[in-house]
Chains A and B, each alone.
Chain A
């Protein structure tokens, strides 16, 4: 990994700069340590809604000039909100660096939250929520998470609950924005064809005068240990049956995280280690245990494991799409049998060697663009620290079969799991009316 410069401005803004001179591009990401876990009842979805509002113009970027501000440099921009974080990015030609920093400084300090824009965005977000509900797999994921957690803020969906989206006010949104969008709660990441010293000078010019916010004290409810299996079933019209099994699992900084990552690679193939790369490219999984037990036996058309690094203990989720005509009970039974086996017998040296090779390759593949490199750095800086990422290869290399067996025993117990079914009812309507 190339050398990265890390510094903190007087106002508390953490800044990471990494030069990559492979293409005439620069990627700028601004990360905020605020996500849906920080929301209180009545305001679920506020983090995500704020993200939408922060594309609506600022004091110095009028609403009608937002459009095209990055596109004129051939650039792309985006943002996302998840359970621990909210982030914004631009990737464009290197001559746009100053403009990208200006946009992010405006986003941090000067968003407007015009009441008309808040109302217009309310319906856009409700449309986004309904679009998600169209997907049975997504619906099941939401219900599974809500069942697996009964106390922690991870339990509600990032999009929020509908009633909160219908009733939240402009003042709720703006108050949340002002509380969390402060330099001492943010990390700015710059990766690309830039000069580090010059980039830091530009960062200071744009962000140095933004006042720090009040210190953010977070009250965190620790999820009580689960003491028995939980189950849920969604019965809704559909064509396909889905199964999900979730297990409470260690956070990114926990020593058990690396062995669990390798356990997942043995079970379902290795993925990248951030939210995007966890699903951007399908994992190499033809020889993985659960693929062989479910897909190769014709019980499932797909199986996927999800272990995404998080700030606090979240879930390891196994998702199965049952092959048409296969009862969910059969798929579940085969899945649990395989999980019991790894819990009982552990993994082999050959499996561990392969899992390590897969993770090594994935982490190299993920360094193929300035956007992905910046994402990886900012992701870990926000949920843990960059060191947790940079030391991960060494920690993975040190994992033994005994460590993986211990992780399997710890994580995959019956009392730690939540089982969810989407058991479809026959469709009543699906004809075309010309």
Chain B
């Protein structure tokens, strides 16, 4: 059964997608603004992140305490998610609360008051979170890998939270300007999924956002991504830890690249299928070296990374890296087997009912569909797109992006270079 969402454009440029479901008396609301961390001003890294911590702490008509009460009294947790490209307000509410909750979220998104005292408190939280990250080998390894894959200030290589120094420098005026420059109806995609009639949802969204008048923000541009030309290896000694984290990766393709589906299937077989695909077979199942090992593929507007992650005993770091090298080399040399490709394809196609089971899952899917312009029938076309991928397509993808001699490797934990 296809999703067939209702899509509408408001006359101020905002986009609305609605899917009515009746499985439970709840509604998922997902309001995405195209204002992720890539719009951080160059002199203010972490500004978008701090804005996400403060935006719901008072509006022009509601105090922070009133916002808190309005959410808490309905049992609602408002998650504000900042990715590279999107600033997103996400929550689930009871269907009976849909109208007031949507109005509240609209108020938060359009008219935050950003009180100074709230900024000061949230800065303390963000700085504490940065300090926690500094003591986390997994975060250290991953952030360092991204900085190496996306160097020279590329937004994909920057910490979303910024640095302690940059956060300390941020002011209310800076956050207000960021909001004024980047939050506008043309950048908004509102997705409503749940126990609400589509026409009513449309009316409510129009009532809340229809009067918002602002010019469209200038498009954010990204520097080009240059694949690594040589192998790099960085060690971050953290001798107070018990286990070392390895992050190993490459830049790959954009989400709109025709090779995307071949990369997706390749990644499933390589580091996802069952307990970590080929990597899991080798490093966890056969060699017993790691509790976790897997790969992740994150194609985006710019060429996204393929990242391999493993947590291993410090004495096994070299053997684990060698095993990853071996699996990468094998993938580049031979591609996948017909069985692996078939299994990965069946898994991805077969997992769609699970991905689209909950209202929140459908809302995520629709936001992705809208963000990348995949079309309202994407859920129906996806099986065919995956079916069309050949072994040669996958092999070409592996040869194009992966190479042991151009891998970037970061090790963080109780390990030092000999």
Contact = CB atoms under 8 A, between A and B. Distances in A.
Interface in A121-165: 121-131, 133-136
A277 interface: no
A25 B23 CA distance: 13
B127 interface: yes
A286 B72 contact: yes
Interface in A351-368: 354, 357-362, 364-365, 367-368
Nearest to B232: A434
A366 to B, nearest CB: 10
Contacts of A72: 343, 346-347, 350
B20 to A, nearest CB: 13
Nearest to B243: A130
A40 interface: no
Given A74-B347, A284-B72, A287-B65, A124 B288 contact: yes
B72, B124, B241, B350 pick with most chain A CB within 10 angstroms? B72
B291 A125 contact: yes
Interface in B98-144: 120-121, 124-125, 127-129, 131-132, 134-138, 140, 144
Contacts of A296: 121
Contacts of B74: 284, 357, 361
Contacts of A284: 71-72, 74-77
Nearest to A67: B274
A75 interface: yes
B226 interface: no
Contacts of A333: none
Q: Report, as a range, how many residues of chain B touch the other chain.
A: 35 or more
Contacts, number: 222
A428 B351 contact: no
A286 B67 contact: yes
Given A287-B69, A324-B124, A368-B24, A74 B350 contact: yes
A284 B292 CA distance: 31
A239 B135 contact: yes
B281 to A, nearest CB: 7
Interface in B34-79: 65, 67-69, 71-77, 79
Nearest to B135: A239
A368 B26 CA distance: 9
A187 interface: no
B134 A239 contact: yes
Contacts of A126: 313
B4 interface: no
Interface string A179-198: 00000000000000000000
Interface residues of A, number: 80
A285 interface: yes
B166 interface: no
A433 B234 contact: yes
Contacts of B77: 281-284
Nearest to A21: B23
A127 B135 contact: no
Contacts of B292: 131
Contacts of A240: 128, 131-132, 135
B3 to A, nearest CB: 12
B284 A124 contact: yes
Contacts of A74: 346-354
A227 interface: no
B199 interface: no
B343 A71 contact: yes
A390 interface: no
A22 interface: yes
Nearest to B65: A287
Interface string A204-236: 000000000000000000000000000000001
A127 B274 CA distance: 19
A121 B124 CA distance: 42
Interface in A81-97: 91-93
Contact of B291 (A119, A128, A286): A128
Interface in B345-393: 346-354, 356-360
Interface in B232-249: 232-243
Nearest to B350: A74
Contacts of B23: 22-23, 368
A281 B78 CA distance: 10
8 contacts: A72-B346, A73-B350, A295-B121, A364-B25, A368-B360, A369-B358, A428-B239, A429-B237
The 8 closest A-B pairs by CB, nearest first: A74-B350, A361-B75, A286-B68, A237-B240, A120-B288, A130-B242, A22-B23, A128-B291
Interface of A: 22-25, 55, 66-68, 71-76, 91-93, 119-131, 133-136, 236-240, 269-270, 281-288, 295-296, 298, 301-302, 321-324, 354, 357-362, 364-365, 367-370, 424, 427-434
Given A23-B356, A74-B352, 13 more contacts: A22-B24, A67-B275, A71-B273, A130-B242, A131-B292, A236-B240, A240-B131, A286-B69, A323-B124, A324-B127, A361-B74, A368-B24, A432-B235
